[in-house]
Structure 1
């Protein structure tokens, strides 16, 4: 919206200065003044055209991205039953491992959010706790899992699924 307002303003400046140049010519104003105002008309027009073309390009890109998003949404809705089963099985395996590590329900929730890639700040906002509390819980989780940190914790769940070629 702001870009459209700027483009309209530039077009208005161009039109008003154009009529001013015509008036100046009929009044016999010095040539240097007519040329300087003519440059304002030209620059305003070029700026407006550039901005209008940019708005059209971004509108086209936005429309294209929306179409791609709809296609992606359709693909997600059509996940095969096999994929849904695998996802459910994997989630159950993760929770089973949490139980083996004796994670509390609160620690399990933090652990899942860590596996999803959320930051401590994001987790604290979701759980309505302090970031320091989430950091302490993460440290306890890493200790119970016998890993050094977030990356090793996530890798623990992925390493069996990734084949080295």
Structure 2
């Protein structure tokens, strides 16, 4: 289950608690239930509403972050800045070299996508948001990349491709 799915499940359950508690408060009021009991139920309902508001706010914030990240990637990809022909040729050549090395390491398609985003400098959280998956999944994929490449971590992974270019 992705983080997003988990959050929607928490939101739905908290709203269900609000609904059920509201019905219970109305029925208890009509039945003459003591005020203390009704106050406890109101507190429960307020807590569930607070949880729902917090989850909704968090979902909106993460959606804004994903939209911003996608926009930034598009801007970079479609920038109208003319490129030097030598730089463009080197960029294309590096892209082919990266793909070839990924083949040699036997990376899956998901690992390749994560590897490219790691090389672009995105964080695990940003990659998870863009790929709409859990951070744990991206960490596992990154670990698999490093293991298959026989490299100790992210910095060594990036350096493997850039070391001799600089």
Normalised TM-score (structure 2) = 0.49
Choose between structure 1 and 2 for higher RCO, CA contacts under 8 A separated by at least 6 residues.
2
Q: Which has the larger radius of gyration?
A: 1
TM-score of the superposition, structure 1-length normalised?
0.49
